[in-house]
Structure formats: C-alpha cells, structure tokens
C-alpha cells in the first residue's frame, strides 16, 4: 500500500472518472487512502474546493448519489447544483454533446447518473471539465471506491482479503470486481445462468488478476463462492428499468439469497455488504441486513468520503 504522502502526489487533475480501469492500481489505492484521510481529518480539507462548482445531472432516481455528492462538495468548500434531465433542455432533445460544451463554460466539474455508458462517454468527449460517473448501465465506480474504503477501514489491507459477490452480474458487480482485483483482493462472483457479468468484463478482470496475483472465481454455486470469504456482497435482484422481469428474477435468484446459512459458510468474522437500496426478504434476509455482521450503512456513508477524494483529485486548483 502507498503512504498518504505518496497518495497525495498522484496527479489526475482534469481527467474524467468514468470507470476504475482507466486508472492505475496506485491511483485507485491513492484515492482510497485519501478518502480515509478526509474522513478522519474533515477540517483539513474544508476549503479544498473553495469556489468550485459541480453540476449534477440525474437521468435516474437517486438517494445516496445525490446527497453524498452534494454533501461532499459543501464539506470541501464548494457548491453542487442538482439538475434533473426533465428540467434541462436535455429533456426536450438537446444533445448530450451540446450540454457538455455549455456546462463546461459555467462549471468546474460534472457528475452524471444516466443509462447507457456510451452517453457518459459522449458527454466526457464534448466537455472540457472533468466528468464523473454517478452510475451507468455498465459501471458504478464511485460505489466501488466506497466499498474499497470500507474494506480498508475494516481490514487495513487488500491483499489476502476475499470478497464474494452473490446475485446479478450487473454494473455494481462489474466495478466491484475490477476494484477488487486491481487492489489484489481475491474475488468470487456467483450468479444464476443468464445473469453473469459481461464476457468482456470477465476477460478484463482475469487479465488484471493475473498481474496482481489475486484469485478470481466465477461459479453458479453460491456456497462454493462464499467459502473463505471475508465479505459477502449483494445487490437487488431487480434494478430500475427491469420491473417487468421482477417475477422471473425472483424465481431465478431464489437460491442466491444472502441469509444466516450462507453467511455461516464464510469466515467467522465475515461482513455483509450491500450498495442499497435493499429489499429485505429478497436478496438478503432482515436478520443479516440488520445484524451485527452488516456494514451497509458504513458503506453508504463512505460514498461521500470516496467521492470527496475523487472530486478533490480531479478538480483541485
């Protein structure tokens, strides 16, 4: 691991944060260490982004992303502007490229929570200020950084730590998998047939794990996946936009529920993680979600601290 002094020397000012794999292993570790320092020493960074403006475009609903980014900017001395796509000319047909060019003249950074990843790529290509991915259909990098921060707080390291993800091979799984193997964690992904992570994502993760020496496992057997796990992670079975598939998904995922029986197969001190919102009684039982092993609300708070590190590193003057 880097020291905090070395972490502060990492320079990615002016770049975009669209996905973790755009950055080096050292940069990802640096962001985690910086987030940890910011969480412990809030006042030290209170004017770090004084006078800076972040525009936040939302094309999908949000609780954690909106509040954590806005709070992060305020705590760093800056200001965040919420912009629903329905309130912008985006909602009336203005192109994402034109929006990026216009906002670049007003703001110091843009965060967008949207649907297609190609849409955020088009925005970043047109904008002349940093663009941050608040969520797309392929990636959720800020969530993964918060998850890595949570692991670091609890374990003090990444190497030798095992994360098991149980459920849908979605955008959260993609970013978490990349972040885990980039930092040298062992990672197991267990999904039902037909719900696997995208083949290209698995291929990228396999190449990274070969470089970092981490163990990467793909299986349809959740009991196999969680053996030796220090963390078990899940997400909702039906995400926004998949409501018509809900009944089928409930049936397909029924043996992938994280319950006390599954937790008992992992390490004795295994922690439960979830990106939220959670559906108790579906992907996780209430006794696990609200039990002593659950660190989901620590994760949720860490969204703000991880994003402070991203904002500071990309936007500082």
* pLDDT (0 to 100) of residue 4: 81
Average pLDDT along the chain: 96
Share of the chain above pLDDT 70, in %: 100
Tokens standing for residue 231: 């963390």
Which of residues 317 and 38 earns the better pLDDT score?
A: 38
User: Strand, coil or helix: what is 274?
Assistant: strand
- What is the pTM for the complete model shown? 0.96
Mean pLDDT of the region 70-86: 96
Angle between helices 296-315 and 64-75 (to 10 degrees): 50
List, for residues 1-31, the tens digit of each pLDDT value.
Answer: 788 887 878 888 889 999 999 999 999 999 9
List, for residues 167-222, the tens digit of each pLDDT value.
Answer: 999 999 999 999 999 999 999 999 999 999 999 999 999 999 999 999 999 999 99
> Contact, 177 vs 189, CB < 8 A?
yes
Give the span between the Cα atoms of 215 and 141, in whole angstroms: 21
Answer yes or no: is 239 a known binding residue. Answer: yes
**In this structure, what DSSP letter does residue 193 have?**
T
Answer yes or no: is 242 a known binding residue. Answer: no
Answer yes or no: is 199 a known binding residue. Answer: no
Determine the length of the chain: 317
List, for residues 301-316, the tens digit of each pLDDT value.
Answer: 999 999 999 999 999 9
Q: How confident is the model at residue 86 (pLDDT cuts 50, 70, 90)?
A: confident
Maximum distance among all Cα pairs of the chain, rounded to whole angstroms: 55
Answer yes or no: is 303 a known binding residue. Answer: yes
Q: How confident is the model at residue 317 (pLDDT cuts 50, 70, 90)?
A: confident
Which of residues 238 and 273 earns the better pLDDT score?
A: 273
Mean pLDDT of the region 33-62: 97
List, for residues 116-164, the tens digit of each pLDDT value.
Answer: 999 999 999 999 999 999 999 999 999 999 999 999 999 999 999 999 9
**Distant-in-sequence, close-in-space partners of 81: CB < 8 Å, separation ≥ 6:** 53, 54, 55, 56, 107
List, for residues 262-303, the tens digit of each pLDDT value.
Answer: 999 999 999 999 999 999 999 999 999 999 999 999 999 999
Domains defined for the chain, CATH in brackets: 4-139+303-315 (3.40.50.1370), 141-300 (3.40.50.1370)
Mean pLDDT of the region 30-38: 97
Beta bridge partners, 38, equal: none
User: Could you tell me how far CA 164 lies from the centroid of its own chain?
Assistant: 16
> Contact, 55 vs 113, CB < 8 A?
no
Tokens standing for residue 197: 């992570």
Give the span between the Cα atoms of 187 and 233, in whole angstroms: 11
Residue entry with tokens 């979605």 = 170
* pLDDT (0 to 100) of residue 91: 74
Residue entry with tokens 């696997």 = 196
- What Rg do the C-alpha atoms of the chain give, in angstroms? 19
> Contact, 234 vs 165, CB < 8 A?
yes
User: Strand, coil or helix: what is 190?
Assistant: strand
Answer yes or no: is 113 a known binding residue. Answer: yes
* pLDDT (0 to 100) of residue 11: 83
Q: Provide the annotated active-site residues.
A: 113, 140, 143, 235, 275, 303
């Amino acid at each position: 691991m880097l020291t905090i002094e070395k972490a502060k020397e990492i320079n990615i000012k002016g770049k975009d944060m669209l996905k973790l794999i755009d950055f080096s292993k050292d940069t990802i570790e640096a962001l985690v260490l910086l987030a940890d320092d910011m969480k412990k020493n809030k006042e030290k960074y209170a004017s770090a982004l004084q006078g800076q403006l972040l525009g936040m475009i939302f094309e999908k609903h949000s609780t954690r992303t909106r509040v954590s980014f806005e709070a992060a900017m305020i705590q760093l001395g800056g200001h965040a502007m919420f912009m629903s796509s329905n309130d912008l000319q985006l909602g009336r047909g203005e192109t994402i490229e034109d929006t990026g060019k216009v906002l670049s003249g007003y703001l110091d950074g843009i965060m967008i929570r949207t649907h297609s990843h190609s849409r955020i790529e088009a925005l970043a290509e047109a904008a002349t200020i940093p663009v941050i991915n608040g969520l797309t259909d392929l990636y959720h990098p800020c969530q993964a950084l918060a998850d890595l921060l949570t692991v670091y707080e609890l374990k003090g390291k990444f190497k030798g730590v095992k994360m098991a993800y149980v459920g849908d091979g979605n955008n959260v799984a993609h970013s978490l998998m990349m972040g885990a193997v980039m930092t040298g964690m062992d990672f197991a992904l267990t999904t039902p047939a037909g719900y696997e992570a995208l083949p290209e994502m698995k291929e990228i993760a396999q190449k990274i794990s070969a470089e970092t020496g981490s163990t990467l496992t793909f299986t349809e057997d959740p009991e196999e996946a969680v053996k030796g796990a220090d963390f078990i992670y899940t997400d909702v079975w039906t995400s926004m936009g998949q409501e018509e598939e809900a009944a089928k998904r409930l049936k397909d995922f029924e043996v992938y529920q994280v319950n006390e029986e599954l937790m008992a197969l992992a390490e004795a001190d295994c922690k439960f993680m979830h990106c939220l919102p959670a559906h108790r009684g579906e992907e996780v039982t209430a006794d696990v979600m609200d039990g002593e092993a659950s660190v989901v609300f620590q994760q949720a708070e860490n969204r703000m601290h991880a994003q402070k590190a991203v904002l500071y590193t990309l936007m500082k003057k």
